[in-house]
Structures are given as C-alpha cells and as structure tokens.
Amino acid sequence: MILDKKGRRFRNLRVSLTAACNYACTYCVPDRKRLQPARNELSTEELIRGVQYLMQTAGIDRVRITGGEPLLSKKFEPFLKEVMRLPLKDVSLTTNGQFLKDKSAAIIDSGIKRINVSLDTINPLRFRQIARSGDLATVLEGIDCMLDAGILVKINTVPMRTQNGSELLPLLDYCLQRNMEIRFIELMRMGHLNHSNDFQANYMSMETILGIFAQKYEFERTSAPHDSTSVRFEIPGKGVFGIIANESEPFCSACTRLRLSSSGYLYGCLSSGNRHYIADLLDKPAHMALPHLQRLLVKSLADKQDYSFRGEVTVMKFIGG
C-alpha cells in the first residue's frame, strides 16, 4: 500500500473508457469544440489489466466507469461485464444518461447496483443550451428505467448562476419525489474556465446554493463517509442532498481518487497537469509491470494538492470527472 505524509492512499479508481462525448456542456467544452476519442485508446483487455494491476499495487477497491461519455464506447458492455467479475467492493458508473435506455439490458444484467447521472436542469430548453445536444425526455426515461430495475441513481448537477441558477429548486424537488440523492458540484476551474471570466460569472458557492433551498426547506447537515467528497444535508421526512464543495469546503486532504485515462495515463489529482503513462506496462506480466507501476503511483500520489483545488487547464473529458 502506498501512503503519503498525510496518510492519504488511493482507493477509488475512475476509468475513462473514451474521451469522446455526445454532449458539449458549457462548463466542460469551449465553444464549437466536439469531443473526439483519443487516437490511441486502450482496449478493454488493457483497461481491465490496468484495474487489476492497480488493485494489486495501490489497493484500489472501488471503480467508477466514466468518460467522455462511457455509454458511447463499444468497450462499455465488455468492460462492465469484466470489471463486475473482479473482487471489488464497489463498481459504479457516471453517465449523461442519453443512452441509458438503449443500454439498460446490459446495465441491469451486469448486476451493477448504483449509477450517477449528470443532469443540470429539468427544463428542456435550458438542457439544450447547457449540453448543446441531447434530449431531456430521453434522459428522464432512462433514469426511470434504472429506478424501475431497482438500481440506485444519484444525480450530479453543476450549478451555474447564469445558466441553471434558477433551476436548482425544481431539480431538487424532482429528485426528492423519486427518492434520489442529488449532489451539486461547485463549478471547478477546469480547462477553458481556468482563465476565463465565465468562472466568476457562474460560480455558486455552497452558501449561495443553501440559501436557495432555505427558501423552501428546512435542512440539517448530516454525516458523510470519511473520504466522501460531498457535504450532505437532510431535509427531514423528505430526503438527502449533497454539495461537492470544492471551493467552499475543500476535501483534498481526504482524497483517495486516482484516474486512468482512455489513452493510458494515470492522474493523481484533478488540480495537477501531471500525468504518468502506464499503457506500455499493460501488456507485460505482473512481475515486470508492478515494480514500475509502484514508482509511478508514488509520483501520482505526490501530485495531490495539500489543501484545496487550485484550478487546472486539464480538461475534465480527458480524465473523467
């Protein structure tokens, strides 16, 4: 097990199946850009071997499948099937939900217990403005399909003052009615937002978000797991919501996340441009690959910020949010 001076270790691995996405959300993608797959994407076999090697070296016991948009990738079904066979404590998925209904058989058959769907509004017009693609009704059908199958669904929302700032209460109500936990992710200074006025114009702090909900609900702070990134609140008798308060209440000192990109790089921190190439280790037998991987993991862990997220030009789509 690799530990740093703060006692941090890697436990949660996010595996990006592809950098391609069918959406071009305003906070993720600069204007007029389309997200394409990397030229040298890892195969399903390499991704699975990557997960296995990281379980052995870093002690990874939780995997989240992400992207880009993971459901766009041909590797989605075979990867899901294989990763579910590994002795992990948890496997989850983050998706924009557009293809949830199409892929529902594979998802349900895999035995996965929980998924996260990114949803920034339940207003169809706003939806198109933010995602610059897609169809809200199809996403909502996909969510219902998952709930009907007994899969736990959490909703992730990025609040942005000028885009969905007035839509947060309807979204919270939508989730409370369906017994789904919603987490509001404070806007992060990633990619094009790192040096742009858009960040200042759109960032909404935890205090601001709570102020909006206080207009309708009484709530109290409730417990969250030690390495959770979310500050959780309970509305008695109604449900729970969370805020991933990157700026208001940074969680770097308890971060256990490691990311593997679709082109074979490890990222130890969202707020660091450093990355470590491991694709060339994935066709080697364990006795040759693991010592080298161990050294790269020490470097990846050293990339973590001490205290708070500082912004980074790295684009979320490459490394999975």
Please give the residue ranges that form the binding site for ligand SAM (CB under 6 A): 21, 27-28, 66-67, 69, 94-96, 118, 156, 158, 185, 187-188, 190, 193, 316-317, 320-321
DSSP for 79-132, please give it. Answer: HHHHHHHS--SEEEEEE-STTTTTTHHHHHHHT--EEEEE---S-HHHHHHHHS
Shorter beta-carbon distance to ligand SAM: residue 41 or 69: 69
- CB of 319: closest distance to ligand SAM in angstroms? 8
Token pair of 55 as six digits = 């379980």
Shorter beta-carbon distance to ligand SAM: residue 96 or 300: 96
Partner residues linked to 13 by β-bridges: 63, 258
Compute the C-alpha angle 145/134/63, nearest 5°.
Answer: 60
- CB of 92: closest distance to ligand SAM in angstroms? 11
Here the contacts of 287-296 (C-beta below 8 Å, separation 24 or greater) are 289/53, 290/53, 290/56, 290/57, 293/53, 293/54, 293/57, 294/2, 294/57, 296/266
Token pair of 208 as six digits = 């601001």
Partner residues linked to 114 by β-bridges: 92, 152
C-alpha 259, offset from chain centre = 10
Shorter beta-carbon distance to ligand SAM: residue 252 or 289: 252
Shorter beta-carbon distance to ligand SAM: residue 18 or 57: 18
Count of all residues that appear for the chain in the document:
321
- CB of 320: closest distance to ligand SAM in angstroms? 6
Shorter beta-carbon distance to ligand SAM: residue 159 or 268: 159
Shorter beta-carbon distance to ligand SAM: residue 232 or 292: 232
How would you label 253-276 residue by residue, b for 16+ Cβ within 10 Å and e otherwise?
eebbbbbbbbbbbbbbbbbbeebb
- CB of 13: closest distance to ligand SAM in angstroms? 15
- CB of 227: closest distance to ligand SAM in angstroms? 18
Q: Rounded CA gap, 218 and 233, in Å?
A: 10
- CB of 87: closest distance to ligand SAM in angstroms? 25
Partner residues linked to 192 by β-bridges: none
Shorter beta-carbon distance to ligand SAM: residue 132 or 284: 132
Q: Which residue is nearest to ligand SAM (CB)?
A: 321
- CB of 283: closest distance to ligand SAM in angstroms? 27
